[in-house]
């Protein structure tokens, strides 16, 4: 992951693109987390209610509840709404999983929504998934 998208850079969200959303999908959700974090999986981004017509998110999505063009952002493990970039301790590289979920339903959740709440709301509604894994290491 380029430094620009981390706490050592501008800490802005990276641009993401996708294709192949299943026809049964009614909304999309995105979770980015780091399973290599010292205290257990650390959540960097929670977004949901993304229209199925959306083919990606631009660089630098503002850290506010509403996403321009549709969708909402929840609360990450930094206790902030929106994206929080990689900021691992010095040492080994950490893996950051950007997981996109195609859902057969709309999810109506508050901006304080966490990964756990989103996963609960998605239960039984996932009709497709995609994943991109990036790494970042602080020296």
Q: What is the pLDDT of residues 85-120, one digit of tens each?
A: 999 999 999 999 999 999 999 998 987 899 999 999
The answer to whether 96 and 33 are in contact (CB under 8 A) is yes
The answer to whether 73 and 57 are in contact (CB under 8 A) is no
Whether the pLDDT of residue 33 is over 90: the answer is yes
Q: What is the DSSP string of 93-130?
A: -EEEEEEEEEESS-----TT--HHHHHHHHTTTEEEEE
Cα gap 128→69, rounded to integer Å? 22
**Can you say how many angstroms the Cα of residue 43 is from the centroid of all Cα atoms in its chain?**
8
pLDDT confidence of residue 131 = 98
Cα gap 113→124, rounded to integer Å? 18
The pTM of the full predicted model, rounded to 2 decimals, is 0.96
């Amino acid at each position: 992951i380029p430094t620009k998208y981390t706490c050592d850079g501008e800490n802005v969200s990276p641009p993401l693109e996708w294709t192949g959303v299943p026809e049964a999908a009614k909304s999309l959700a995105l979770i980015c987390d780091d399973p290599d974090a010292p205290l257990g999986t650390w959540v960097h981004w929670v977004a949901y209610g993304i229209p199925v017509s959306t083919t990606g998110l631009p660089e630098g999505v503002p850290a506010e509840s509403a996403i321009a063009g549709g969708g909402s952002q929840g609360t990450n493990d930094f206790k902030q709404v929106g994206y929080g970039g990689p900021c691992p301790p010095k040492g080994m590289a950490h893996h950051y999983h950007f997981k996109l979920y195609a859902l057969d339903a709309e999810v109506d959740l508050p901006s304080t929504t966490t990964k756990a709440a989103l996963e609960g709301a998605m239960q039984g509604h996932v009709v497709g998934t995609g994943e991109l894994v990036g790494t970042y290491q602080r020296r």
